[in-house]
Chains A and B, each alone.
Chain A
Amino acid sequence: MLDYLGRCLVQLVVTLLGVVTVAFFLMRAVPGDPAQYMLGDYATKEALAVLREQLGLDLPVYQQYLLFMQRALTGDLGSSVVTGQPAMTEIMDSLPASAALAVTGLLIAIAIGVPLGIISAVRQGTWVDVAVMMGALAGISFPVFWLGLVAILVFAHKLSIFPALGASTSGGLLTQLYYLMLPAIVFGFSVAAYIARLTRSAMLEVLGQDYVRVARAMGIRESRIIGRLALRNALIPILAVIGVTFTLAFGNAILIEVVFSRPGVGSTLLKAILARDYQLVQAGVLVLAAVVVVVNVSLDVIYGFIDPRLRVT
C-alpha cells in the first residue's frame, strides 16, 4: 500500500509538471496579448513595451518558461495580472464552492441513479424499466442550463421553496446548504441519468453471468443476489463514472455556476482565459489536475475494497 501511494505521488508530480507545461504553452499560443488587454485600445507602442517588460513578456518563450518553472517549483505561481492577487489564492478561494457542488450533487446523483438503475435492470422490459430509461434519456438530453432555469422557475419562483440564487456568503452551514440544494439537485439529476443507465447495463451483464444462475439455483434469496453478488460486481464501472463526473464538476460546472450565480473554479478559469491572465490559468489548471489525480488514486484504493482482485499492492 505504501509502495503504491509512493508511486502515486511520483505520478502526481509528473502529471502536474506535464499539465502545467502544456497549459503554459497553450496559453501562449492563443492569440491576444495580456499587455494589450490591460492597456486597451489606446495603448501606445511605448506603453505596451514597458508593460511587456514588466510582465516578462518581452523574453523568448523558452526563457519565460524556465523562469516560470523556477518560481513554480518554489511554490510561487505568480499573481494575476488583472487583480494583482496571488493566482493560487484566487483559485483556492473558488475551490470550496466547486467541491460543495460536486460532493452534494454526486451524492444526490448516486441516491437517485443507482437504485433506479438496479430496479430497471431487475425489472428489465417492464414499464418500470421503460419509464426509468425514458427519464434517464431526458436527463441526458436536456442541457443542464435549461434544467437549471426550469428548476429556478418552478422551485424558486412558482413554489418559493428555494432561493433563486444558488449561493450565500452569510449565514451558517445550514443556510449555505439550503442555497446549495437547487443547483446540487439539478447537477445531481443530470448525472443521475448517466449513473442509472450505466448501473442498469452493468447489472444486466452481471445478472446474466453463470454464478448468478448458480446462486439462484441454490435458492439464495433474490435480494441477497442483487445486493451482494450483482451490485458489487457492477460497481466498478459505476465508480469510474462517478470519479470522472466528480472531476468534471470542478472545471466544467460553468453552466450551473452561471445559471445559479455561484462561484467556482470553472468560472474563475474561464474568466482568466478570456482576460489572458496567464498566471491565473496556470494555477487553475494545476489545481484541477491535482484534483483529477487525487480522485483517481482514491478510486484505485476504493476499487480494492469492493473487488479484492483489484486490491493495490
Chain B
Amino acid sequence: MTKRSSAGTSQTRRRFMQVAGAASAAATLPGAFSINAQAQAGKILRVRLGSDISVLDPSHIFQIENQTVSGHIFNGMVKYDQATNKIVPDAASEWNVSSDGTVFTFKLRPGINFQKNYGPLTSVDVKYSLDRVIDPKGGSKYTGQLAGLKSIDTPDPQTVVITLEKPNSGFLHKVTAFNQGWIVPKKAVEERGEKFKLDPVGSGPFVFEKWTAGTEVRLSANKDYFEGAPKLDGILFRVIRDETAAAIALEKREIDVFYALQQPEIIDRLKKVSGITVMNREANHTINLVLNTTIKPLNDARVRQAMAHALNRKGLIDGFFKGTKGEANSVLTSSFAEFTNDVAKYPYDPEKAKALLKEAGVPSFKFEITAVGLSPYDKIVVPMADDLRQVGIETTLKVLERGAYTQARNSGNVQSCITGVVGSPDPDSPLVSLYAKASFPPGLNTARYDQVEDLLAKASLAGDAAARNAAYKAIVQKVATDMPVIPLYSDQVFMAHTDAVKGLEQNSLFTMQSYAVALA
C-alpha cells in the first residue's frame, strides 16, 4: 500500500484532464474538474456515513448516522465529556438537586442563541423540547425515558426546575445531550412542522445546510457558537455504504474520516496504511442472549449458568470477529462510570456445563434461539447453536425479518432471543432495559426477570457516586449469578482518519463529534 499525498489527487486530475482534453480536443476546460472542490473551498471535514440519514428531530431520532449529524447541531442542558463520559455543563452552566433528590434546578447560560436567527435559547425551549417527547401524541421514541417527571417549571428565562415523582440519582442522564436531551427551538419546530425532521435548527457548533438524499449532508460552522467558533468551516457527511469503497476513498483522501468502521478485514487493511490512523474504543453496548426465565427448564438458574459455560464466547470474538469485539462479563461495559469486573464469570467449559445440566435434572432439552435477520446476529447464532448442542442442548435457530422478530419478541413466548442494548453511558439504559419488571411488556426484558427490583430502586436513591457504584455493583453481581441474560460480547467502535485530521476524540456512544477537530 503506497502513501498518497494530496499531490496524488491533483496529479489524478491533471491526468484525467489530459485524457478528456485529448478526447474532446477542447483547448480549455471549465474549472469543473476538481475532485477536491470541497476541500479547496475551505476547511471542510469529509466524513463517511454508512447509511443515509432519515430524521434529525431529537424526539424521533434513531440510528447512529442521524445521531452523529444531530450531535453537531443541538445542545443539551448537560453533555457527556467525549473522553470520560462524565456529565459536564452544556447549555446549563450549573445545576443543583434538592436534598430529597426530587427537584433538579438548572441555570442556563445567558447569551446562547439558536441558529438562523431563531433567538435566544431559554427555559421555554427546554420545557417545550421535553414536553413534546412526553406527549403521547407526539409519537416520540423516548417517552419512556422521561417517565416519572412530575412537572417542568420555568420561573425565569434562564431557570428550569424539574420535579420528579420520586428521587432518581441517574436523572441527569435523561437530559444529557443525546436523543430526548437535545434542546430544540420552540419557534422553529412550530414553524417548520414536519419539515423540521430534515431541516433542523439548534444551538450547536454546526448549522444544518443541505441534505441530498442518498448522497450527502452538509453542515456549516456556527461562527457565533457560545463555546467559540469551530476550527472547521463545515462538515460534509458522505454516504458510502460499502466499507471497501470507503476504505479506498479514505486512502485516496476523498474523505477525511471513516466513521462506523466494522469489518475486521477493512480494519486490518487500514491499520497497515501509512498516514491513516485507526482508533477504537469500547462502546456502551453489549450483544446478549436473553433467556426467558418463565419457560422450563430456563427457569432454573443452573441451566442458564450451564449455557453460559457452554458458549465459546472467546472463540466467537477471536474467530468470527477476528478480535474486533471485547469480552463482556456484564452488560455494564468498561465505558460506564459504574463498571465493575468483580462478578461471577463463566469461562468456556463444556464439562462444567454438562455437570450443571445434570445437577438441574435436564441433561438434554429442546431450545430455540430467535434472532433478527441482520448481520452479524444471523451469523453468530450458528456457532452458538453448535456449542450448545455439544453439551446436549438440542438447539434450533429461527432467524426472522426485523418486523417479525420484534413481533415475536414482544409476544414474550420465545425461549430466547439475541438483544443488543444501545444507548448513552447511563447504567440504567442496559440494566433497566434488560432486568426491570417495568421493561416488559413492552421492552427488552424478554427474560421476564424480576429479581433486582429492590436493588434498582436502591440505586435510584443512591446519593453520591460511591453509593451509586456500590448499588450498581450489587445489581451486576446479582444478575451475573442469576444469568437471565448471557452477555456475548461488548461492541467496539472503530473509526479511521487521515493525518490531516487533528484533535478527533472518539466517544463510546457510537456517534462521532467533530467540534474539537481541526484540519491540517
The contact of A169 among B216, B240, B402, by CB within 8 Å, is B216
Interface size class of B (residues with CB under 8 A): 35 or more
- With a CB–CB cut-off of 8 A, which chain A residues contact B51? 271
Within 8 A of A (CB), among B152-197: 193-197
Q: In whole Å, how far is B31's beta carbon from the nearest beta carbon of chain A?
A: 9
With contacts A30-B403, A83-B197, A175-B34 taken as known, whether A161 is within 8 angstroms of B215 at the C-beta atoms is no
Residue of B nearest to A175 (CB): B32
CA distance A31 to B15 in the complex (A): 52
- Convert A34-64 into 0s and 1s, putting 1 for each residue whose CB lies closer than 8 angstroms to a CB of B: 0011111111111100110010000000000
B362 within 8 A of A: no
- With a CB–CB cut-off of 8 A, which chain B residues contact A43? 141, 442
CA distance A230 to B486 in the complex (A): 70
Asked if A165 and B139 make an inter-chain contact with CB atoms under 8 angstroms apart, the answer reads no
Asked if A31 and B407 make an inter-chain contact with CB atoms under 8 angstroms apart, the answer reads yes
- With a CB–CB cut-off of 8 A, which chain A residues contact B469? none
The contact of A261 among B19, B139, B212, B240, by CB within 8 Å, is B240
- Convert A273-284 into 0s and 1s, putting 1 for each residue whose CB lies closer than 8 angstroms to a CB of B: 011100000000
- Convert A65-107 into 0s and 1s, putting 1 for each residue whose CB lies closer than 8 angstroms to a CB of B: 0000000000000010011110000100110010000000000
Asked if B139 and A54 make an inter-chain contact with CB atoms under 8 angstroms apart, the answer reads yes
- Convert A162-180 into 0s and 1s, putting 1 for each residue whose CB lies closer than 8 angstroms to a CB of B: 1111010111111100100
Q: In whole Å, how far is A100's beta carbon from the nearest beta carbon of chain B?
A: 13
A232 within 8 A of B: no
Asked if B54 and A156 make an inter-chain contact with CB atoms under 8 angstroms apart, the answer reads no
Q: In whole Å, how far is A138's beta carbon from the nearest beta carbon of chain B?
A: 21
Asked if B144 and A42 make an inter-chain contact with CB atoms under 8 angstroms apart, the answer reads yes
Asked if B249 and A82 make an inter-chain contact with CB atoms under 8 angstroms apart, the answer reads no
B304 within 8 A of A: no
B33 within 8 A of A: yes
- With a CB–CB cut-off of 8 A, which chain B residues contact A258? 241-242
Number of CB contacts from chain A to chain B under 8 A: 172
Give the total of A residues in contact with B, Cβ under 8 Å: 62
A160 within 8 A of B: yes
- With a CB–CB cut-off of 8 A, which chain A residues contact B30? 172, 174
CA distance A32 to B400 in the complex (A): 11
With contacts A160-B11, A163-B252, A175-B33 taken as known, whether A47 is within 8 angstroms of B216 at the C-beta atoms is no
Within 8 A of B (CB), among A216-264: 257-264
B254 within 8 A of A: yes
- Convert B223-267 into 0s and 1s, putting 1 for each residue whose CB lies closer than 8 angstroms to a CB of A: 000000000000000111110111011011010000000000000
Q: Which of A41, A167, A171 has the most chain B CB within a 10 Å cutoff? A: A41
A268 within 8 A of B: yes
- Convert B6-29 into 0s and 1s, putting 1 for each residue whose CB lies closer than 8 angstroms to a CB of A: 001101100110011000000001
Asked if A31 and B404 make an inter-chain contact with CB atoms under 8 angstroms apart, the answer reads yes
- With a CB–CB cut-off of 8 A, which chain B residues contact A172? 30, 32
A123 within 8 A of B: no
Asked if A268 and B214 make an inter-chain contact with CB atoms under 8 angstroms apart, the answer reads yes
The 28 sampled A-B contact pairs (Cβ below 8 Å) are A32-B401, A38-B141, A39-B140, A39-B141, A41-B406, A41-B443, A42-B433, A42-B443, A44-B143, A50-B136, A84-B55, A84-B195, A94-B214, A149-B244, A156-B248, A157-B252, A160-B4, A161-B19, A164-B249, A165-B240, A165-B245, A169-B215, A171-B34, A175-B34, A261-B238, A263-B212, A263-B213, A275-B54
Chain A residues with CB under 8 Å of chain B are: 30-33, 36-47, 50-51, 54, 79, 82-85, 90, 93-94, 97, 149, 152-153, 156-157, 160-165, 167, 169-175, 178, 257-264, 267-268, 271, 274-276
Chain B residues with CB under 8 Å of chain A are: 4, 8-9, 11-12, 15-16, 19-20, 29-30, 32-35, 37-38, 51-52, 54-55, 60, 62, 136-137, 139-141, 143-144, 193-198, 212-216, 238-242, 244-246, 248-249, 251-252, 254, 401-404, 406-407, 433, 439, 442-444
Given contacts A94-B214, A167-B215, 20 further A-B contacts (CB under 8 A): A31-B404, A32-B401, A32-B407, A33-B403, A37-B403, A40-B141, A42-B442, A42-B443, A47-B139, A79-B194, A84-B197, A85-B198, A90-B213, A149-B245, A153-B248, A164-B249, A261-B238, A271-B54, A275-B54, A276-B403
The 6 closest A-B pairs by CB, nearest first: A32-B403, A263-B214, A84-B194, A172-B32, A261-B240, A31-B404
